[in-house]
Structure 1
Amino acid sequence: MPNSQKIAVVGGGAAGFFAAVNTARLHPNLQVTIFEKSREVLSKVRISGGGRCNVTHHCFDPEVMSKAYPRGSRELRWAFEQFQPADTVSWFEDRGIDLKTEDDGRMFPTTDDSATIINCLKREAQKHNVDVYNRYRVEAITPTKNQQFILSIKKQESQIFDAVVIATGGSNRRSTYQWLEELEHSIVEPVPSLFTFNFKEKIFEDLAGIAIEHGSVNIKDTSFEHHGPILITHWGLSGPAVLKTSAWAARYLHNQEYSFTINVNWLHPNKPHEVQEELKTLREKNARKTAQKQNVFPIPNRLWIRFLELANIAPTMRWAELSNQQIHDLTQELVNAQYDIEGKTTYKDEFVTSGGIPLDEINMGTMESQKVPNLYFAGEVLNIDGITGGYNFQSAWTTGWIAAQNIGGE
């Protein structure tokens, strides 16, 4: 691409910012401008990980890493050969930002403050003369005959650019993508991914905040099943096991209108016969103690009492009084509980979307559109989404990096 070319990046999130600062750094002859429709850039980075910013995941094997993406796994397998989590760690370390790894593999800045990441990216933008415009809503992109682009901006004069990176993020509304369809691209219908399951009957409503470290969630009559921590909310269940299941089953659950049944094993990986034997042993050894007294299963006491009640066992009953049927029923509540789900909860600012621009319309080696020359895509606007744990940010860094590498080419 000749000197003094103008590059527009539409979207000031993780992918857009990373594409912009790396484009400007790698190709100092290019003039790069970010257009962000809202009043603040990097807003999703700010709230990620409870305000700590889950930058990436500590998985430095591209093949293993790619398996964390329900949509985009095959394409990201090779994209991660260009820029993977190890490269993300190095990129931030080179700029004085150290990352740490937590037990579950998530990586955060050692400061535990998302502002560390935001300020780093903003410094890079300033250092490499990237112009950033907030509250600039790009409403249309019109290719010209000489392969430039006219950007129509709400309440502003139109501007002409030589190349454009679309990094507008995901949306659950099809209408949000309409302007991209006008660029000859098709759209994979967007549906939510990464959401909590709402109980039809609020049987745990008063136990919100209680978590189980090792559980598993299965959508009844399907192969969608994942294990990990489970968190009880006011509305139902959340936590990694639930969020992973929601991601892989996103389209199936959308088609079910979010009305379905789940099976929960609160004691994963224990099997029913193992738990039943443990309960019978408890009955023998703790015969005179009440059922609410147990020290075998890693379940908080308040939740244990609720399981007893669901199995029609009074917490004040003595273990010796429990019948074999009650032992069986309690076993079911612990390792094969069934709950009817009616609806979901997505966190408005942290939503992840399945859908967007189909990957077969993108050259994933360059992130350039296969339909419109000099038009690039990065981040969640693509039909890519990962499970919880830093994977969605990594795909943003990766696709933004690849676009930056190639947008300055001849």
Structure 2
Amino acid sequence: MSVSPRARVLVVDDDRALRRLALDVLAEAGHELLEAPDGARALALLRERPVDVVVSDLRMPGLDGLQLLAATRKLADPPVVVLLTAFGSVPQAVEAMRRGAFDFLEKPLPSPATLRRVVERAWRERRSAAAGAAAAEPARDLGLVGGPALDPVRSLVRAVAPRDTTVLIRGESGTGKELVARAIHALSRRSGRPFVAVNSAAIPTELVEAELFGHERGAFTGATAERAGVFEAAAGGTVFLDEVGDLPAAAQAKLLRVLQERTVTRLGAVRTLEVDFRLIAATHRDLEALVRQARFREDLYYRLAVLPLALPPLRERPEDLEPLVAHFLRDLEPARPVSLSPAAWERLRAHRWPGNVRELRNAIERALVLSGGGAIEPQHLQLEAPAVAAPNGPGEAGTTLRDLERRAILEALEATGGNRRAAAARLGISLRTLQYRLKEYGLAGRG
């Protein structure tokens, strides 16, 4: 991957041997190189002449990497900053990225090529910054329908879109995580390239690595032809990795390597391929809890959680029901006006919406079919009636354990768009158990 013209790169490290190693590695790429043994002298150099990329150690005596980063942000022509850190300083490096650093690399470096690739990406980022900022300027609603509760989301989308930083979108199933990812992509410099979405929870465990990283012909039984993975398919665009918390351990390790090295090795292949992509990940799980339980890699978590973005559930923004319903009616039935009866609106407002916006859209689409062209009534929505407390205490009159389990299964299928594997994960049961329960409750045709 070539970079033209050359970048002016400043290497800052108080360890002379490590500084010389970085300079030698970058010299092979043909960059114009400067060096400084500490943050104070680096800042003096930056004030004398413009620099494209700064590669700096995080921990240095005096002015450390974080302080140097803050100082560069005040320059008239700030450089792109890449930080080098030991593993114990990774949380601090992640915080630096939130403050404006481009990327971080852990020491010792995996390979000389890793440093060269990160500097090349940083150089491309600097050259495309103006175009990316221009792309992020339009003040439209980004397709995110709702009121003030979504204003922080809209602001963050516009702020992160011009940068290539990894974004982690968090929220319950059905809150619109893919819609937000598409908005970020649309406002980014990569908008003219592919947006490749993949749901980790929907891929059989044995096929996850082949789907993400690709495979060669004969790599496994059934691999009758070679296939590119999602990172190759993105080809300069954006990869949206939904339900990243469901990735098996082996795929987590390979994903971490792809994020660090920007290379991918297909299953059954020997050679590695360079890949150019921006990653947006999403999950409804508590990744911090999974890290504590040793079910999710801590180093991968820090790579993903650079810019977290939280989506509120629909039940926490009831004022958005009316604009969302109006939006869905226009989208699903553009040829005629459709109204809802007061009782239908009452049923919508009383519902808890475990499946969030996706469940609401499904309810409106179903009601349009069942209403036969007339006004939408409560029975057309086919939502569960609100729970009624029993006269002798809390609970639901006439509700058995089987009723509650059946309802939970229906809500999980609704929330996951009928995806049985994802519904089973949401319920905390195996896919086989879910299939047995569906048959037992006469729901075999659902999902």
Higher RCO by CA contacts (8 Å cutoff, separation 6 or greater): 1
TM-score norm. by structure 1 comes to 0.24
Bigger fraction of residues in helix = 2
Bigger fraction of residues in strand = 1
